[in-house]
A and B are shown apart, each in its own frame.
Chain A
Amino acid sequence: MKNALETNSVSKNFGDFTALNNVSITVPKGSIFGLLGPNGAGKTTLIRIINQITLPDSGSILLDGEPLQPNHMKDIGYLPEERGLYKTMKVGEQILYLAQLKGLSKAEVKKRLNHWFEKFEIGDWWNKKIQELSKGMAQKIQFIVTVLHQPKLLIFDEPFSGFDPINVNLIKDEILQLREEGATVIFATHRMESVEEMCDDIALIHESNKLLEGKLIDIKRQYKTNTFEVGLITDNEPQLMHIIKSKFDVSPAVFKSLNTDLKLNIRLKDNESSNELLAFLMSNAQVNHFNELVPSVNDIFIQTVKNS
């Protein structure tokens, strides 16, 4: 499968400060790609380079296999972290202007807008000025502006910061829908848990270096510890504890439960299977909680930073 976007050894310095150091990422077509890292890691710089707002010092970028060129601006939809609209301009005129800058014709914009206005139930907003809208309403307009020209690549920088929960859900649904229609999506965020559930692929950036990249599921597999969280109901807690400890690697666990007596994290060795564990537990106590501990991206990130 072709890649929607590739960056090859992209570096960028601002004076003495290195914002990006030989960063290469590969975004597969049709994926939702999480560009993750703490504040100041270089995510926004990389995104600005992809959007041709900033020029890289070295390295190359391929969009759909072609070297990036000014013509590609219309193929990308970008919702920046610092986003806003002309306060005194009317909603309709504003969208029209921004969409025309992306190369759409006036008639085409109006046709597509009908669809979105209906979808977001904002049909009567055409003549409203942005300063009359609430923040949540303005966010909907910003989203429409980002996707109206049906770009092949959508880039969202901290998409959910400042969005209310209803809008977050609305927009998550829309993004998934756009992916269904063939778009590739890049999320950049420092709140890793917020997009973890949506991402197929991720790259971790820390202090201008890429630390990790790949399919989220592969990375999680790679980082899994074979640990299971179990909750047991028993009459004789000390005895049960003793039996388990003699067979497995055990540590106390913390989770919410109504009537569990014993909460444990049990780490299996490579030759042990979860079924064996479960069978063993069932023969000794009543099991009311059994869950494989999957590392969160946050855990993986912290671990990677520690190891690097």
Chain B
Amino acid sequence: MNHLPLIIKREYLTKVKNKSFIIMTFLSPIIMIALFAVVAYLSQLNNNTERTISILDESGFVSEIFESTENTTYIILNNISLSDAKSLVEENEEYGLLHISSGKDISEIEKTIKFYSEDTPSLVLITSLESKLENKLSDLKLQQIGVDIEKIKTSKSNIDIAQESFQGEKTSKIDNIVKLAFGGFAGYLLFMFIIIYGNMIMRSVIEEKTSRIIEIIISSVKPIQLMLGKIIGTSLAGITQFVIWVILGGVLMLIISAIFGINMAEMQSPQQEMMQQAMQSPETQMQMENVMAAIYNLPLTNLTIAFLLFFIGGYLLYSSMYAAIGAAVDNETDTQQFMMPILVPLILAVYVGIFTVIEDPHGTVSTVFSFIPLTSPVVMLMRIPFGVPIWQQLISLGLLIATFMFTVWFAAKIYRVGILMYGKKPSYRDIYKWLKY
């Protein structure tokens, strides 16, 4: 008799109705977004402090480059000694004093620039002052040696190598970054999914052992049905949780940005000024268009199908291992020694994926790892956006399915014996013996 639907239903409902599951589902996106909002708010608060900076420019070269903004007011001091200027700034409780001494040439001037302040000044502020001064002084130096600055500016070249495959497929650097982001996201998502919900399956198996109900259940259903039911039921609960997270996260993000959005535009800290300038430049707008184009250029159909297949295959492969571990032990603390065979290939997959796929998506290492079943789901998902021949995907998937079948058979054997073993902490040797029972 097929009890699989019944078992899946129970596993799903118990998970979904569980209080801590519900709390986790609704609270974690709220906590995440709230944290994000708090950090954004705090840094905004930090940047909003208004600063007044006095500038004593004895050289007379640079004072005109300082234009006051909403948050930073520059006061240009004239005909005053350094010590008077210092006491004046201190008296007026200004943020600090920038002193540019006179010198016989620019090289000498640049060495003597100093900033005086009550406390250690903000790093961002100093960097912004430095870049302002550097630009101006470099220009001055060039002028001194008789170079036309306009000519320099027009002679600057900006290279973006256009890439095209022999088949005429055009790509660009941005394409690659987008592909990397897609692949990396898919691989990492699978990794997280396996860790979170694999553990959940394991705990649910242990729970059946510790509550001693397991023998009653398996006098009604085959252990493999129970195991598969558990894996599928928990996964469905996991997908439910994930979907709620995505929806809730999206809605909250919208609300938050609606509340804070206007404020963000008003923020006028030095780095934001720079960013805003950059955003408005036509170059960036073109880049945004390129990103969109790159996304459209991805092999989306292949990506979606492969994502589903490799995701399911990889997840089932690992979760059956988790179920077997749960069956072998009596409590969660005993699981540590058996986690290695799961975590090592999984972490290896993520690192190999990230490092070798960036280096060369079709290189030997990344290709080999995208065939080895324990690492293939993650690595292949990362490679696919770069265009992997279908035959490679099929072989990898075939290997994955074959290994999955083997692992389920293997896990079911351990499961079958393990669930009836109480009170003893098994070793790898014991488990090997169980296979022959």
Binding site for B on A (CB under 8 A): 14-15, 48, 51-54, 70-71, 73-74, 76, 78-80, 82-89, 97-98, 100-103, 142, 145
Q: Provide 9 A-B residue pairs closer than 8 Å at the C-beta atoms, listed in order of the A residue.
A: A53-B218, A54-B437, A70-B1, A73-B219, A78-B215, A85-B216, A98-B217, A98-B220, A101-B221
Query: Chain A contacts of B433 at CB under 8 A?
Result: 15
B1-42 interface (Cβ within 8 A of A): 1, 3, 6-7, 10, 14, 18
Q: B14, A74: Cβ atoms under 8 Å?
A: no
Query: Chain B contacts of A86 at CB under 8 A?
Result: 14, 207-208, 211, 213
Docked Cα-Cα span, A232 to B218, in Å, equals 59
B207, B208, B213, B219: the one within 8 Å of A53 (CB): B219
Query: Chain B contacts of A79 at CB under 8 A?
Result: 216
Q: A84, B213: Cβ atoms under 8 Å?
A: yes
- A74-B1, A88-B18 known; A80+B216 contact, CB < 8 A: yes
Query: Chain A contacts of B221 at CB under 8 A?
Result: 73, 101
Docked Cα-Cα span, A82 to B216, in Å, equals 9
B151 within 8 A of A: no
Number of B interface residues, CB 8 Å? 25
| Contact residues of B: prevailing secondary structure | loop
Q: A82, B6: Cβ atoms under 8 Å?
A: no
Docked Cα-Cα span, A14 to B417, in Å, equals 10
Q: Which residue of A lies closest to B210 (CB)?
A: A84
Query: Chain A contacts of B208 at CB under 8 A?
Result: 86
Q: A82, B219: Cβ atoms under 8 Å?
A: no
In the assembled complex, the CB of A224 is this many whole angstroms from the nearest CB of chain B, namely 39
Q: B6, A83: Cβ atoms under 8 Å?
A: no
Docked Cα-Cα span, A15 to B208, in Å, equals 26
Docked Cα-Cα span, A98 to B212, in Å, equals 14
Docked Cα-Cα span, A59 to B422, in Å, equals 27
Docked Cα-Cα span, A54 to B208, in Å, equals 18
B6, B213, B218, B437: the one within 8 Å of A100 (CB): B6
Docked Cα-Cα span, A89 to B207, in Å, equals 12
B402-427 interface (Cβ within 8 A of A): 420, 422
By Cβ-Cβ distance, the 3 closest A-B pairs, closest first, are A84-B212, A101-B220, A80-B215
Q: A15, B436: Cβ atoms under 8 Å?
A: yes
B362 within 8 A of A: no
Docked Cα-Cα span, A102 to B3, in Å, equals 9
B86 within 8 A of A: no
- A15-B436, A70-B1, A101-B3 known; A51+B211 contact, CB < 8 A: no
